[in-house]
Structure formats: structure tokens, C-alpha cells
Chains A and B, each alone.
Chain A
Amino acid sequence: MKTTMSHKKMERISTWFKFIILLVFGALLIAPFVWMISVGFDKTANVTMPFPPKLIPEQISGFNYGIVFENGRLIQSYMNSAIVTVSSVLISVSASLMAGYAFSKGTFKGKKFLFILVLCTLMIPMEPRLIPLYKLFNSVDLLNTFWPLILPPIINGMLIFLCKQFFDQLPDTLREAAQIDGAGEFKIFFKVYFPLSGPIAATMVILAFIWSWNDFMWPLVVLNDQELHTVPLYLASFSLENGTSLGGLTMALATVSILPIVVVYLFLQRYIIQSIALSGVKGE
């Protein structure tokens, strides 16, 4: 009796111990964000950074935020990012749904070979493709437009793979029933399987959205015109121009730039975390 009591007590202590370690480490991970928000509200941080660091600035001021919005370039870059991301997500998710469906339910010559080809694309990094793609879009006069950012994501091996896996789990009997009713392949896809693809479509949208929104190297190469800069490009140029001066302004800018994603993340965290986990678990 006595030993089980002490055993329980030990367990409770270790639970609390783990909990506190998790809290402390979590606080360390979050600290840069807290500091960012605090400095962003400090007008004097543009001259000298507040030192020692304070949780709440001495003089709270919206000065930096005023400038960030007045400047207008951030809003512009937001619009650009939105156009690019929405279009590229739409294109890549629809193309991947179609391809994933064909690889799952289709019977045609060369299916296995073509699918292996798709998986091979997973191993091809952006760098070797950078210069030829640049030259390709240059030759059709599409540099400094959004097309180079919208079109190439149409092929995404990871999305096709996830999608095939999902359709593999749906029964073939649905197809057979529709076939008996005289439906063709397109009708079966759009009327039967597409409406069932909600969960995987949501996952794909989340993944494609994050990839497109955070893309940096390729936009940096194809968009020279400042007016067309996406959010990451604007941030990078601001950061390279000012270095570690203008602390308050930099932090206000960083806050405004990550706020929408953080808000979306907090609302959809369950689905976002699930999507990321799925891409990892299935990718094994």
C-alpha cells in the first residue's frame, strides 16, 4: 500500500517537472516574438534599442506602425503575395487532384513509370532549374510579371503523392456504381470523387499556401520591379538596407508581416498541424 502511494506521488512530481520544462522551453521559443512586439511599440528604439530588454516599453507609441502603413509598400506587397498565392494554389491543387485521381483509380499504359517520374521530381531542387527557367520566362517576355510564380508550381510531386494515397482509401465500388449508371470518367471524377476530396483538398491548400507565401529565392530572381515585390522580398530589401538600425520600425514591420499568418494559424492550427504531420508521416 505504502509503495503504491509513493509511486503515485513520484508520478505526480515527474508530471509537474515535465510540465515546467515544457513551459520554460516554450517561453524561450516565444521570447523573440514577445520582444518583437515590445520593441515595435517603442518609438525611441529607432535611435537606440531599449536595454536592458523590457517586456513593456516605457513609452508605448504607435509611431512605428503609423509609418509602416503610411509607406504603403507593405500593403502593396501584401496584395502581390495574395494574387500570386491564390492563383498558384488553385493551379497546383487542381492539377494535383486530377493527377492523383488518375494514378489512384486509372488503368492505363505506363502508369507505374509515370508515377515514378512524379516521385523523382521530389528530389529535384530549385537551384539547377533557376537559370534555365529565368531564361525561359525571359524569352517569352514574362519576367517582372506574376506568371513565373504562378505557373511552375503546377507540378508538385508531394501533393500528387498525398492525393493518390487519399483516393486509394476511397472504395472502387463508387466508381462501379456510377459506371453502371453510364457516367464517363470525367463525370465520375467531378460528381463522385471530387466532392469527397474535401479533407485532402484542405490539406493540399494549406501546404501549397505556406510554400507559395514563403517562397523567396525564385521571386527574388524574377521580380526586379519593386512594385511587384511579394512580402518576403519587401522584408528582405528593408532588412538589407537598414541592417540593425531602425529597430522599432523593423520590428513593427515584422509584426505586421507575420500577423495574418499567425492569426490564420491560431484559428486553423488543428488542421495546419495535421497537414504538416500528414506530409511527414506519409512521406516516410
Chain B
Amino acid sequence: MAKDSLDINVGPGAKSHANRDVQSIKQKKRKSQLTWYIFLIPSFLGILLFMAYPIFESLRLSFYQSNGTIENFTGLDNFKTVLTSGPFWNSVWNTFFIGIFQIIITIPLGFIFASLINSTPKGQNFFKVIYFLPNVTSIVAAAMIFAFVLHPEMGIVNYLLDAAGLPTPSWLSEPSTAKWGVILLAVWHWIGFVIIICLANLQAISPEMYEAAKIDGASGLQQWLFITIPNMAGTFAFLLITGWIGAMQRFNEVYVLGGPNGSPARSIQTMGAFIYERGFTGFEFGIASAATYIMFVIILIFTFLNLKISNMKL
């Protein structure tokens, strides 16, 4: 139909008319393309100034000895200094130790509690609100409270452990146990997030699968093992990756609990704290920049590894 009507219209006059139309449409299109770029200006100014520029400037600085005013090119010296520095590797070890245990404790525990909440007919909303409360508390305030909660003699954790007849560690006041204190705080603070994400994804699993399994006579536990857990693989991957990135950047709570050098005896100094210490208490911008680049590469490598691992499971 449409083709027919076009054919009828074709004549010398109609052709030039159509040409003019095409031209003005093209012009309009170009104009509207420009309009779209205007929508993007604020964000891309932000990307240029606050993302791209700092990333390259940081790379440049890592080849210089710099205190902010005087700069001397030193090649790879900063990287050599950082990579042979004991305190740096100590901070990497601390960051990994706290991060790994935070993740392998919180994700399974959070998932179990999300499943329990999901299968409880009563008080679902109440539990959601309670369990998520630690996560909305600022980590700085939480660390402040935990300095007392984990106090070896006056804290409630050791009081409860003692009452249960268990050994009472000295937590944050001794290098050998300080990391576990931070892990406890990290688990407490993060578990609400894990539970909320798990719950949202649990509720997205189609109920038909469970109905089919029920007809086949699968028990609740069997359904959980063979339907729920495989369906949650994507969620676990998401939590693993975001949790790991967050853990690599840990700074706030260890700074509040142990200052920039992560006392006692640098036992809780993370990579972020190492960078802060060298950059802003020592004003060694070159060394701090080299350290940030090494940290950045570590995060990228492990994010990539995590993606691979979780893909294999999928």
C-alpha cells in the first residue's frame, strides 16, 4: 500500500521536494545529536577532571620524587622502594587477611540468614530492618563503638565469652588478635548488605521450580541445596566481587581503631592506610602514587580472577 502511493507521487517536482525534506531531516538530526551531547557535558567534565586526569597524573607522579612542590624524575625507583618495603607487603597481607575472612564468613552466613528470613512467614520485614541496621550506621561510628565492645577487660564480647566459659582474647590491643577484631567489625557491618541482596534475589527465583520439585517429592533441604543455591550463583559472584573491591580499599575503620600506621605494631594497617601514611603524613607523593598503582593493579587482577572463578561456577 505505502509503496503504491510512493510510486504515484514520483514526478520531477515531487523528487526535488523529497530531496529538500531529506536535507532538513539530516540537519535536524545533526542538531539533535548535539543536544544529546549537552546532556552528557556535566558527567563527562567530571570524568575528565576527576577520573581521567588524576589516573594519568598519578601514573606520572609515580616516576618522580615529589613532595608537592619540588619534583625530580627518578624512573622506577619509587616502585622499587615500595616493592621492597616490608611495611608495604605487611599492609597487603593485612588487607588480604581481613578481606578474605570477612568474605568467607559473611557471604555464607548472610545467605543462610536470608534463607531463614525468606522462609519465615512471620516478621520478615521486622528482621530485615533489624539485620540491616548495622549497615546504615557509619563505619566510623561503628569502629568507635567496637573499640569498647571488644575491650579485653570491659567489653561485652569478652564478658559473653567468659560467661560461656570460652577463652577471652585481647582483640584490638594485641597484634596477634587485632586483625580478628577488625574482621568481627567488618562481618557485623557488612552482613546486613549481604542479607538484603540475597533476599532480593531469593525472591526473584521462579516459584514454579519449587512447585515442580515438591511434586517430585523433594524435601525443603533438598530444594535449598539443588534449586536455591545454584540459582544464587550470580548473586554470590556479585557479592564476592563487590565485597573484594570494598575490602581492598579498607581504610576508615582501621584508621579510627589504629591510626594511620595501624597500631598495635602495624597489625591492622591496610594498603589504603599505607598510602595515606606515606602521602599525607610523610608527604612522599611519588612513593604513595607508586603504591596506589600497585594497589590498583592488585585490585584489577583479583577482580578479573574473581570474575573467572564465578563464571566457572555459573
- CA–CA, A125 and B58, complex, Å: 13
- CA–CA, A232 and B144, complex, Å: 10
Taking CB atoms, residues of chain A closer than 8 Å to B259 are 240
- Among B11-19, B30-38, B96-104, the stretch that binds chain A is B30-38
Taking CB atoms, residues of chain B closer than 8 Å to A114 are 40, 44
Q: Which residues 128-179 in B have Cβ within 8 Å of A in the complex?
A: 128-149, 151, 153-154, 156, 159
Taking CB atoms, residues of chain B closer than 8 Å to A96 are 43
Taking CB atoms, residues of chain B closer than 8 Å to A94 are 42
Q: Which residues 236-274 in A have Cβ within 8 Å of B in the complex?
A: 236, 238-240, 243-244, 247, 250-251, 253-254, 257-258, 261-262, 265-266, 269-270, 272-273
- Residue of A whose beta carbon sits closest to that of B259: A240
Q: Is the CB of A95 within 8 A of B144?
A: no
Determine if A198 is an interface residue (Cβ-Cβ < 8 Å): no
B46's contact among A107, A127, A154, A238, by CB below 8 Å, is which? A154
Distance (Å) between the CB of B145 and the closest chain A CB?
5
A107 with B144, Cβ < 8 A, contacts A102-B40, A121-B51, A217-B272 known: no
- CA–CA, A266 and B61, complex, Å: 46
Distance (Å) between the CB of A188 and the closest chain B CB?
10
Identify the interface centre among A131, A217, A232: most chain B CB within 10 Å of its CB.
Answer: A131
A49's contact among B50, B151, B289, B293, by CB below 8 Å, is which? B151
Taking CB atoms, residues of chain B closer than 8 Å to A155 are 43, 46-47, 50-51
A125 with B249, Cβ < 8 A, contacts A15-B120, A251-B148, A273-B132 known: yes
Determine if B53 is an interface residue (Cβ-Cβ < 8 Å): yes
A30's contact among B123, B130, B242, B289, by CB below 8 Å, is which? B130
Distance (Å) between the CB of A249 and the closest chain B CB?
11
Which secondary structure dominates where chain A touches chain B?
helix
Q: Is the CB of B141 within 8 A of A19?
A: no
Q: Is the CB of A128 within 8 A of B58?
A: yes
Q: Is the CB of B145 within 8 A of A261?
A: no
Determine if A133 is an interface residue (Cβ-Cβ < 8 Å): yes
- Residue of B whose beta carbon sits closest to that of A30: B130
- Among B78-86, B195-203, B209-217, the stretch that binds chain A is B195-203
Q: Is the CB of B47 within 8 A of A118?
A: yes
Q: Is the CB of B113 within 8 A of A127?
A: no
Distance (Å) between the CB of A22 and the closest chain B CB?
5
Taking CB atoms, residues of chain B closer than 8 Å to A135 are 57, 68, 285
Determine if B269 is an interface residue (Cβ-Cβ < 8 Å): no
- CA–CA, A258 and B279, complex, Å: 30
Count of A-B residue pairs with CB < 8 Å: 284
Q: Is the CB of B133 within 8 A of A127?
A: no
- The 8 A CB mask of A142-157 against B (1 = contact, 0 = none) is 0000000001101100
- The 8 A CB mask of A10-53 against B (1 = contact, 0 = none) is 00001100110110011001111101100100000000110111
Taking CB atoms, residues of chain A closer than 8 Å to B92 are none
B116's contact among A18, A31, A102, A108, by CB below 8 Å, is which? A18
Taking CB atoms, residues of chain A closer than 8 Å to B132 are 269, 272-273, 276
A272 with B136, Cβ < 8 A, contacts A132-B58, A217-B276 known: yes
Q: Is the CB of B42 within 8 A of A277?
A: no
Taking CB atoms, residues of chain B closer than 8 Å to A35 are 145, 148-149, 156
Determine if A180 is an interface residue (Cβ-Cβ < 8 Å): no
Q: Is the CB of B43 within 8 A of A95?
A: yes
- Among A56-64, A65-73, A208-216, the stretch that binds chain B is A208-216
- Residue of A whose beta carbon sits closest to that of B300: A123
- CA–CA, A210 and B302, complex, Å: 27
- CA–CA, A36 and B148, complex, Å: 9
Taking CB atoms, residues of chain A closer than 8 Å to B248 are 125
Q: Is the CB of A131 within 8 A of B288?
A: yes
A133 with B54, Cβ < 8 A, contacts A22-B127, A127-B272 known: yes
Q: Is the CB of A128 within 8 A of B47?
A: no
Q: Is the CB of B159 within 8 A of A52?
A: yes
Q: Is the CB of A232 within 8 A of B140?
A: yes
- CA–CA, A14 and B139, complex, Å: 35
Determine if B235 is an interface residue (Cβ-Cβ < 8 Å): yes
Q: Is the CB of A217 within 8 A of B151?
A: no
Q: Is the CB of B36 within 8 A of A108?
A: yes
Taking CB atoms, residues of chain B closer than 8 Å to A251 are 145, 148
6 more contacts with CB within 8 A, not counting A22-B127, A99-B43, are A18-B116, A19-B123, A95-B43, A98-B39, A125-B299, A265-B136
Interface residues of B (CB under 8 A from A): 32-33, 35-37, 39-40, 42-47, 49-51, 53-55, 57-58, 61, 68, 113, 116-117, 119-123, 125, 127-149, 151, 153-154, 156, 159, 188, 191-193, 196-197, 199-201, 204, 220, 234-235, 237-239, 242, 245, 248-249, 251-252, 255-256, 259, 271-272, 275-276, 279-280, 285, 288-289, 292-293, 295-296, 299-300, 303
Interface residues of A (CB under 8 A from B): 14-15, 18-19, 21-22, 25-26, 29-33, 35-36, 39, 48-49, 51-53, 91, 94-96, 98-99, 101-102, 106-109, 114, 117-118, 121, 123-136, 138, 151-152, 154-155, 160, 184-186, 189, 210, 213-214, 216-217, 220-221, 231-232, 235-236, 238-240, 243-244, 247, 250-251, 253-254, 257-258, 261-262, 265-266, 269-270, 272-273, 276-278, 280-281, 283-284
**6 A-B contacts, Cβ less than 8 Å apart?**
A19-B120, A29-B130, A29-B191, A101-B39, A217-B252, A257-B141
